[in-house]
Amino acid sequence: MYSILLLCGGLAGVTTVLFGFGGGFVVVPLLYTLLISVHGPDSGIGQAAMHIAVATSTALMVFAASLATWRHHRRQTVQWHLVRPLVGYIAMGAVLGAAAAVSLSGDWVRWVFIGYLGITIADAVLRPGCLHQAGSNVRPMGPGVTAMTGTLIGAVAALLGVGGSVMTVPLMCRRGASMTAATAMANPLSLPMAVSGTATYVLLSASDTALGDWYAGYVDLRALLVLAVGSWLGIRLASTWIGRIPDRIHAGVYLLLLTMVLVVMVLVR
């Protein structure tokens, strides 16, 4: 199981630094599948598998998004003047999203995850943005739209255990950003969600001791450690590709990855 998680962490690192995923689209379906197959769907861990996968993925993002943000900052691909106004609102939204996830059943969280993936893929394909970029300058948002958008991004990302990229990448592409710029901004925007979301998951589920000693609430600490090591390796390997992938190919691979995860989550029960 842990060798698979190490490989999964490496893939999460690659998708974090190149696509801003924060690892969630890789970690959540794979960890959910592993927990069900190892412990069985009727065990305590099996019944909480989706909550564990989402919480552990959110915790991994604290590490992965921090490292990926530093890598992008060194390459000067992050447009900080567009990132800063959203940070506080994303952190507040993450608390709401994590609290909602803890109160919902694992099956509900899974279907919300599937539904949101489908909407994101359709939005990116049908509306101007990733595959139909028309401009080169990123248009800023007004204060009201920033507050509303930031809170929604944080809530959805923490609820599903995914990086803010599921919303920020299509959003920034529609506002004129290249895929490199959009994915670079997704990493620092995932950080406030990851920190607030992880703290909320741990605090609200701290009384659940049935999962075992290696759990902080719903966060699987052993899986988190292995995933973090793999993520570090993946980020180191993929950092050389920052800014080198043609924009249309970058966008196409982004949507292909989303589609693959959607298929896995629909098929795995």
Q: How many CB atoms lie within 10 A of CB 141?
A: 17
For residue 118, give Cα distances in angstroms to 7, 61, 114, 166, 253.
26, 22, 6, 11, 16
Residues 6 or more apart whose Cβ sits within 8 Å of residue 77 = 180, 181, 184, 242, 243
**pLDDT score recorded for residue 22:** 66
**pLDDT score recorded for residue 102:** 75
**pLDDT score recorded for residue 228:** 92
209: three-class secondary structure by DSSP: coil
**pLDDT score recorded for residue 61:** 86
* Angle in degrees, 0-180, between the axes of helices 24-39 and 2-19, rounded to the nearest 10: 160
| pTM for this model (two decimals) | 0.74
**pLDDT score recorded for residue 233:** 92
Q: What is the mean pLDDT of each run of 10 residues along the chain (269 residues)?
A: 83 83 75 86 82 87 87 84 86 85 75 79 69 60 84 80 70 76 82 82 71 82 92 88 79 81 73
* Planar angle of CA 18, 19, 23, nearest 5 degrees: 100
**pLDDT score recorded for residue 131:** 57
Contact at 8 Å (CB) between 120 and 112?
Answer: no
